[in-house]
Amino acid sequence: LTVAMSVVVDSHAQDKKITLGFAQVGAESAWRTANTVSVKQAAKDAGINLKFSDAQQKQENQIRAIRSYIAQKVDVIAFSPVVESGWEPVLEEAKKAHIPVVLTDRNIDVKDKSLYVTMIGSDFLEEGRRAGRWLEETYKNNPGPINIAELQGTVGSAPANDRHSGLMEIIKNDPKFKIIASQSGDFTLAGGKQVMEAFAKTYGKQINVVYAHNDDMALGAIQAMEEAGMKPGTDVKVVSFDATKGGFQAMIAGKINVDVECSPLLGPQLMSAVKDIVAGKTLPKRIVTNETVFPMNVAAQVLPQRKY
């Protein structure tokens, strides 16, 4: 009887559906929407039971969702941390409950790296450097001054911090580049438009470059610039991130000059990491998504292949 029982229990264990609790940032941008679609579709394709929450870009909502996943005793918890700090308490609770945690998209700033198994996402510092190198190349024969107005992403978030730092690494030794204005538009179209309206009023024609941390803010800024009689893409160069369809369409319209890709399609990598964790495999601490840079002159031929 015991042998039969152990066989039954064993096969039962193998068939047990994995349950993943995913705490998403929100629905603030086209990038985020595509990321959510990727996670949900990949869970379905992988036969993983997904519990999903949208935190409306509030850290306290993400923490509450993670706590509820702990209470429900899910097999794995994954989340895209809206900001870099403030995660130790809830991650300690997950650790005490022996529930492994995977970070996707954005990183956290913690001393104790055992609080998460792996971080799957882009290298935002390198994205910022790529934008900086594009500026250096574009203005190499221009003595300057080149005045930059920066639309920052969500305050305290890894992409906002690192896309700024990456740019600074490249231009800090070149005095012709000057960031004359920098403010957060919270990664939203409305936020980008609002901030750019203020920049246009205050600085107007002094602005040579708009450095937007994502396409949604760039598209909002383009609306504001046109309403202020400025010509985005010609009088003012526009640098953006994400490389969403909206960004490609703006490049084809000649209103964004370069779009640094940041892929939201992390779902499949997340699900294979979840399966590996449940199977007891060890994972690298960092899984970087590979990405590229799209200048406006390739946008028309590349757009048909884009998935988000």
Nearer to ligand GZL by Cβ, of 75 and 242: the residue is 242
Q: Mark 214-243 with x for binding to ligand GZL (rule: CB under 6 A) and - for no binding.
A: x-x------------------------xx-
Q: Which residues contact 4 (CB under 8 A, 6 or more apart)?
A: none
Stretch in the footprint of ligand GZL (CB under 6 A) among 26-34, 110-118, 201-209, 221-229:
26-34
Yes or no: say if 186 and 57 are a contact pair by the CB < 8 Å rule. yes
Residue 285's Cβ-count burial label (10 Å; 0-12, 13-18, 19+) is exposed
* Residues between 125 and 154 with contacts to ligand GZL, criterion CB under 6 A: none
Compute the least distance from the CB of residue 28 to ligand GZL, in Å. Answer: 5
Stretch in the footprint of ligand GZL (CB under 6 A) among 24-32, 44-52, 197-205, 246-254:
24-32
- Nearest residue by C-beta to ligand GZL? 31
Report strand pairing: 209-212 vs 237-242: parallel
Structural tokens at position 104: 């996707």
Compute the least distance from the CB of residue 141 to ligand GZL, in Å. Answer: 31
CA 33 centroid distance within chain = 11
Q: CB neighbours (10 Å) of residue 185?
A: 27
Among 24, 28, 83, 177, binds ligand GZL (CB under 6 A): 28
Nearer to ligand GZL by Cβ, of 29 and 208: the residue is 29
Nearer to ligand GZL by Cβ, of 21 and 81: the residue is 81
Helix (H, G, I), strand (E, B) or coil at 282: coil
Count CA atoms within 13 Å of residue 248 on its CB side: 19
Per the DSSP assignment, residues forming a β-bridge with 53 are: 23
Nearest to 81 by CA among 162, 22, 166: 22
Q: CB neighbours (10 Å) of residue 67?
A: 16
Number of residues that bind ligand GZL (CB under 6 A): 14
Q: Should residue 262 be labelled a site residue for ligand GZL when binding is judged by CB under 6 A?
A: yes
Q: Should residue 123 be labelled a site residue for ligand GZL when binding is judged by CB under 6 A?
A: no
Nearer to ligand GZL by Cβ, of 122 and 208: the residue is 122
Instruction: Supply the Cα-derived Rg of the chain in whole angstroms.
Output: 22
Nearest to 19 by CA among 54, 43, 53, 45: 43
Q: Should residue 164 be labelled a site residue for ligand GZL when binding is judged by CB under 6 A?
A: no
* Residues between 267 and 296 with contacts to ligand GZL, criterion CB under 6 A: none
Helix (H, G, I), strand (E, B) or coil at 144: coil
Among 75, 105, 123, 291, binds ligand GZL (CB under 6 A): 105
Among 18, 20, 24, 31, binds ligand GZL (CB under 6 A): 31
Q: Should residue 48 be labelled a site residue for ligand GZL when binding is judged by CB under 6 A?
A: no
Nearer to ligand GZL by Cβ, of 100 and 159: the residue is 159
Compute the least distance from the CB of residue 243 to ligand GZL, in Å. Answer: 10
Yes or no: say if 151 and 218 are a contact pair by the CB < 8 Å rule. yes
- Separation of alpha carbons 285 and 151, rounded Å: 31
- Separation of alpha carbons 21 and 61, rounded Å: 14
Q: Should residue 106 be labelled a site residue for ligand GZL when binding is judged by CB under 6 A?
A: yes
Where along the sequence are the contacts to ligand GZL (CB under 6 A)? 28-29, 31-32, 105-106, 122, 159, 187, 214, 216, 241-242, 262
